[in-house]
Amino acid sequence: MTDFAAAHNLRNFRGKCENLHGHNWTIEVVLRGHRLNESGILVDFAEVKQFTRTILAELDHNYLNDLPFFKEQNPSSENIARFIFERLAERLNSEDRWLYRVTAWESADACATFMYDGYGRPAGPVKEREQ
């Protein structure tokens, strides 16, 4: 898990989140695989952290609505998780392992997850709220 801070506003939301505001998002990354390597690991955590930090550097301390991906897509937690998932999958997926899930926590009790469906296609966003 790692984090970044950024500002955004949600278009066509009809609520207070249409106003400019910010979050300290926490990002959780989960990989799956078929087999471990000769060292008994699926992936070096340092590799996952390095790629994740590189992607989050594009988001950190920015106004997300100004970034190219979010010009057309609302910068919701669902789309943030999707953005990170798609970029990480390009770097981490291999024959023996694949990115399974990226969760973007916008607060301690609200998150959205973008996940792989297990059949070669992203499953799409899943919104999760804890009570």
Q: Which of 8, 78, 106, 111 is catalytic?
A: 106
Fold (CATH) for 2-129:
Tetrahydropterin Synthase; Chain A (3.30.479)
* 111 belongs to the catalytic site: no
What is the reported pLDDT for 123? 56
pLDDT digits (tens, 9 = 90+) for 81-117: 999 999 999 999 998 899 999 999 999 999 999 997 7
Nearest to 121 by CA among 97, 104, 96, 99: 99
Give the three-class secondary structure for 52: helix
Query: Distance of CA 76 to CAs 41, 87, 127, Å?
Result: 33, 17, 11
Nearest to 93 by CA among 29, 19, 39, 40: 29
Q: Which of 21, 61, 90, 128 is catalytic?
A: 61
Label residue 127 by pLDDT band (50, 70, 90). Answer: low
What is the reported pLDDT for 129? 47
Contact 115, 123 (CB under 8 A): yes
- What DSSP string describes 53-77? HHHHHHHTTSBGGGSHHHHHS---H
Q: Which of 17, 28, 58, 86 is catalytic?
A: 17
pLDDT digits (tens, 9 = 90+) for 15-57: 999 999 999 999 999 999 999 999 999 999 999 999 999 999 9
Query: Distance of CA 61 to CAs 10, 35, 69, 73, Å?
Result: 17, 38, 16, 19
Domain positions in the chain are 2-129
* 17 belongs to the catalytic site: yes
d(CA 123, CA 114): 7
